[in-house]
Structure 1
Amino acid sequence: QISYYLGYSAMKDHFPSDVMMPNPECLNNCCRNQQAKYKGKWAPQVWLGKGHDGKEGGEAVHEDNDWGIEVCGGSDNLPTVPKPVETSEASEAPAQGLEFQYEQRTKEEDQLDNENTVDSSEGVSLDDLMMQFNKVQST
């Protein structure tokens, strides 16, 4: 089975795996457009190797087996198809074993930054700015 995400936590000695989904609150407009395009159409795929579906192949036959490796058959060893992953749009907590590296900025913080930003180039020509720059360089 191919994993969409595989991590390793040496402190806990386990491999968390999960299907990573897109962020519905992404700041990139192109990213949100692609999410809307594929919303409801995408489901995790399960990979079945040759011979696992019961139709193709069969048991592997090797003329020499120097290492004594045996392949044991049985229907209980077949991979199962997972159910489609249901995600909530408002899920804020990461899956088990995952954690956010950075805290996401809130809309209020973004609005405060925009309010405190001053456009200093109002009424100043490019020539004036170049003269100021040259004065700073010459001193």
Structure 2
Amino acid sequence: MNRLFFQPHQAGLSKVEAAEHTLRNINPDVRFETHNYNITTMDNFTHFMERVSHGGLENGKPVDLLLCCVDNFEARMAINTACNELSQIWMESGVSENAVSGHIQLIIPGETACFACAPPLVVAANIDEKTLKRDGVCAASLPTTMGVVAGLLVQNVLKYLLGFGTVSHYLGYNAMQDFFPNMAMKPNPQCNDRHCRKQQDEYKRKESERPKQEVVPVEEEVVHEENDWGIELVSEVTEEELKAASGPVPDLVEGITVAYTVPDKDTDTGETVEETEQSLDDLMAQMRKM
């Protein structure tokens, strides 16, 4: 955020304040609400949940969609916990520490995998992510990668809110190979977040109560059923000729058959071509007179 929105004259302002000033200058008709705090603390988390559930455009209504653009795992888990508890649909995004790859992910509580359903290895192995921070390394310091990921996120938001195109459940970006993996992840029934498991049960209940649509078989239309001219398709090869052209069937175990057989080269069919002294040119001349 500080590399996409921050301007030199905004030195001293917090990230959210600098972003709000820049965005307000771009579009003064948009209403902004800024909160500069750490959402992982108890008091701030409670206030964050209150604003998500009652901070929509209509007073007292929840927000339509929550976008996550934080830069650490703890904040993502806090947002994930809040959205699972509130059944709030949200989109998560991020850029890797080497700044050459990123991703966006649509999370629908109970229907798709939440952020805790497939935790990173550092969490699955019970390793403190703070111990992996390397001195002198500035995470996500390439504005072009962040611009691409931000554009993918906004495009996905527009498709979701305006109802057009295909909304991506997970879309990655690898700048080194220009690779865009796309996938959909189902929720983990053993997710550590109890609210996620609760949302999964609620989603299954709603799906079971939804009326089933009957599949009506479509009969293929018969073309030219009258057949006024009596046209028929018949094989010119008789069954005896077909057997004669087939080779011996090998002994196979039960359940295995051959698609076709090869005739024995040594088999004498009795049909030979009569030898003649005529040249090829003479034979072709006879054919032209026929």
Alignment TM-score, normalising by the size of structure 1 = 0.27
Larger Rg computed on CA atoms: 2
Query: Which structure has greater helix proportion?
Result: 2
Q: Which has the higher strand share?
A: 2
- TM-score scaled by length of structure 2: 0.16
